[in-house]
Amino acid sequence: MKQEIREHRTVRINGQEKEIAAEASTSFHDFMTTVAQAVGQDGHVISSLRVDGREISEAEEQNLKNSPVNGMGAIEVMTASPADLAYETLDTLSQYVDRLVASIERAALHFKQKNYVAADTYFVKSIDGLDLFVQTIGGVKLALRVGLEPKIALAEASLVSIMNDLLDAKRQNNYVYIAELLEKDLVENLREWKDVAFPIFRNWKNS
C-alpha cells in the first residue's frame, strides 16, 4: 500500500525553525491557524507576524488569507503569553484614557456652550471610546485571570452606572446634566482606573 507523503512548510517561531504541514493548496489562513494551534499548546498566542521580512498588520493578514502559503516568502512569528500581552495593553490603555478624557472634556464644554452639533459629535465619539475601553478591560481581566477584586469591581460598577445615566440624560435632552456627568463623574472614574485599577492589574502576577 502506497504511503501518503505529506508536504511541510518551514516557519520560524521565536527564532526557531519548525516544520508545519502544508499542502500545495493550503491557504495562508489555514496555515496560520495550524501555527496558532501549535504555539497555543504552550499557552502562548501569536503577537507579531512577518512575511518575507515585512511585518504584517491584521488588515494585511485578512487580505492574504486565501493566498497559497507555498507561494510566499519566509514566515516568522513571535509569541507571547496572554498575560504578557495584557501588560502591554495596559501601557497603551493609559495613553488611550488620556485621549478619551480629552474628548469627553470637549464634549462637556460644547454642551455647556450650547454648541449641540459639535457636542453630539464628541459625545458619540466618547461613548464609542468607552465601549472599546470596557471590552479591552474585560480582555485584560480574562488574560490575567483577575477574579473578584473590590476596587476594580467598584470602578466597573461606577462606570456602568455613569454610562447608563448619560444615555438616559441624552434621551431626555438634559444637556446640563450630561455636561456634569461628563466633566465630573466620568472623568473622575477614568482617572480612578489609571491611578487605582491599572496598578492592581500590573501587580496582579505578584499577588
Q: What is the pLDDT of residues 69-123, one digit of tens each?
A: 888 888 998 888 888 888 888 989 999 999 999 999 999 999 999 999 999 999 9
**pLDDT tens-digit profile of 147-174?**
889 999 999 999 999 999 999 999 999 9
Asked if residue 18 and residue 104 are part of one domain, the reply reads no
Domain-terminating residue out of 27, 51, 80: 80
Residue 3 lies in a domain: no
CB 37 within 8 A of CB 79: no
- Write out the residue range of the structural domain in which residue 106 sits: 83-206
Asked if residue 96 and residue 47 are part of one domain, the reply reads no
- In the chain, the number of structural domains is 2
The count of C-alpha atoms lying within 13 angstroms of the C-alpha of 127, restricted to the half-sphere facing its C-beta, is 15
- For the beta carbon of residue 32, count every other beta carbon within 10 angstroms: 21
Query: Model-level pTM?
Result: 0.70
Nearest to 162, CA basis, from 192, 142, 136, 141: 192
